[in-house]
Amino acid sequence: TQLLEQSPQFLSIQEGENLTVYCNSSSVFSSLQWYRQEPGEGPVLLVTVVTGGEVKKLKRLTFQFGDARKDSSLHITAAQTGDTGLYLCAGLQGAQKLVFGQGTRLTINP
Amino acid sequence: GAVVSQHPSRVICKSGTSVKIECRSLDFQATTMFWYRQFPKKSLMLMATSNEGSKATYEQGVEKDKFLINHASLTLSTLTVTSAHPEDSSFYICSASSGSSSYEQYFGPGTRLTVT
């Protein structure tokens, strides 16, 4: 099973600051997804990256897929308290199976 | 679009009983559904993959006789936890894929199971 390592696992910063979450693997993934999960709810898909080197932006969130398709990052600019949540990366293994990272629990303090 | 529902959202059952969780794709046909388990403050662990009309494929370490999965239609999959024990208490989440794009899975809101 391919493994995904997320870092940091916990991050607490002040509103307005920038942050980056990393998702790394020694294996190549055909695609990688980022999710956000609120307590007691299912994960909500934020973005899917497919091409090595791809960069996607979603308002203040910037997602990048590594050139070798082994790693990805999520950068949030000017964090807001509403960004608080659990962020999960997941790589596609084979045709259908998603392998999830451990998650990054992000807390944005007012 | 791409809405997945789960029922119930919370369930409490006594040790030794069985409980069924439903996962429905509301606005698309799900050729494949996935069942995950999530422990508190942990990530999602895939339990099994089910394709409509065929037997589910279980991940290593998941007891197929304990976690019965049925995917009888293109919009419904069920997970039955049989002879539940307190250690089965967890957050169970399903996802569904239409198969049109292999990497698109849509997740349900989850079911909190507590076994007393």
Segment A58-86, tens digit of pLDDT = 999 999 999 999 999 999 999 999 999 99
What integer is the mean pLDDT of B98-111?
80
Give strand pairing partners of B45.
Answer: B37
CA distance B17 to chain A (A): 24
The residue to which tokens 């307005």 are assigned: A16
**pLDDT at residue B103, rounded to an integer:** 64
CA distance B113 to chain A (A): 11
CB A19 within 8 Å of CB A79: yes
Dihedral of alpha carbons B101, B62, B90, B75, sign: positive
Nearest CA in chain A to B34: A97
Q: Do A88 and B44 touch (CB under 8 A)?
A: yes
